[in-house]
Structure 1
Amino acid sequence: EEFRTSSGPSDAGGNPPSVTIHTWLERFNKQKPHSFEKATTPVDAENRISHMEKIFDVIGCEDAFKTRLAVYKSEGNALAWWKAYKQAKGGDAWLITVANAAHNYEILHERDDDDTE
């Protein structure tokens, strides 16, 4: 998987360099994300989400990679739950649909913000 971003240097054809999961994984790991095995309370789950969102915001992570990076740091019960949930929802096809929906929502949200300024 690769995506092109609009910021940063361009290649010889004027296109920005492609950004792969490997690029995001390197940036993600530099932030030293916590592993996650289980949430015994709702606050534990909220803290996990906040931790991941903070890292994604700092590195400017594209929506298409966020789930894969978060799952990468999941272990034990959390990883087993994710695998079962993803399978129940239709596997990778479902994941792609969710990533596209999140991206479209973000675009619409940015347009709404531009209209209010």
Structure 2
Amino acid sequence: MVELLMEALRQQPRQPFPPPPPPPILVEPLNNGDIITLTQKFNKLKPPTFPRGLQPLKAEAWNLEIEKLFEVFLCTEEQKVLLATFTLQEQARRWWMLVRNQQTAMAWAKFKEVFYEKYFSQCVRDRKVTEFEQLKQGTMTVAKYEAKFTELARYAPHMVDIEYKNARKFEGGLDVEVLDRVSVLKLEKYVDVLDRSIIAEADVAALKQVKAPVIEWKGKRPGSNFKKHRNNFYTLLNKRQNTRSSTSSSQGTDKPICPECGKRHNGICRRIW
């Protein structure tokens, strides 16, 4: 029985062993000369600095600008941390020195996590999500509304993760007059909704300009009441002046002529005295 089992095992095809994993790629540490050269090349791109304390929006703007530079300035994840922290100043630099003493090596993803915990907390991001949820065009133009929409959308990616949801969210915040002209088209792409919204906004503005002169002629012009009262005042004043002049002239003709001086006056002539 044992011999039969052994014979069966010999007849089975042998499975090849999996290949060993490739050896890890070792990155040689940079010496001081390489670090200086790398930093000088990075500074030629004029990276932004982040000097002050708890300013969430400026902290996020700094991170976005740094990551934009890393798209064209190729380096390792650890080198990204080295270069980015080189731009920290004042309070931010002192904070990084404390963090660096606690952790010897840090990749870029870990640095962003630690940096955001300090300077762009979760409560601030939650407020941005709420602001995006309640975003409406209001008195903004479509262009300004689109810029605000794009700015806040990154805080709530779950609301705009597909094209249809992105289009519906943007369309739902449009002004009523613009929305009435866009929603009937049932557009599914965000760029199409944006394009038609700009056209609809221009149509609404042109329609208001056409109706504006009719509305102005129906009502009274500003200041018409003031001019009317002013004209009435000058008319009354002229009447009073005319009345006084006529009275004084009539009174002057009623005075007798003095035989002593030959002038018109009442009473005894002064020449007698």
Alignment-derived partner of residue 86 in structure 1: 100
- Counterpart CA distance in 2 for 1:2 and 1:70 is 16
The TM-score with structure 1 as length reference comes to 0.57
Unpaired runs of 5+ in structure 2?
Answer: 1-28, 111-273
Higher relative contact order (CA 8 A, sep 6+): 1
Which has the higher Rg, Structure 1 or Structure 2?
A: 2
Which residue matches 2:89?
A: 75
1:20 is the counterpart of 2:34: yes
Q: TM-score, normalised by structure 2?
A: 0.27
In 1, Cα distance between the equivalents of 2:60 and 2:87?
16
**Do 2:70 and 2:80's aligned partners in 1 also have CA atoms closer than 8 Å?**
yes
Supply the RMSD in Å over aligned alpha carbons. Answer: 2.7
Count of aligned positions = 81
Distance 1:44 1:29, change over 3 A: same
Residue-by-residue CA offset, 1:49-101 (whole Å, 9 max, x unaligned): 111111111111221211111111111000011111222x24xx2x2xx2398
Give 3-state SS (helix, strand or coil) of 2:39's partner.
helix
Give the letter aligned to residue 30 of structure 2.
E
Question: Following superposition of structure 1 onto structure 2, how do residues 9-88 of structure 1 map, counting pairs within 5 Å?
Answer: 20-87=34-101
Call closer, same or farther: CA 1:62–1:23 in 2, change over 3 Å: farther
Which of residues 85, 99, 103 in structure 1 aligns to 2:107? 99
Q: State the identity as a percent.
A: 30
Q: CA separation of 1:78/1:54 partners in 2, compared to 1, >3 Å: closer, same or farther?
A: same
Whichever residue aligns with residue 68 of structure 1, its letter is L
Larger strand percent: 1
Unaligned stretches of 5+ residues in structure 1: 4-18, 103-117
User: Relative to 1, partners in 2 of residues 1:101 and 1:67: Cα closer, same or farther, differing over 3 Å?
Assistant: closer
Q: 1:2 — aligned with what?
A: 30
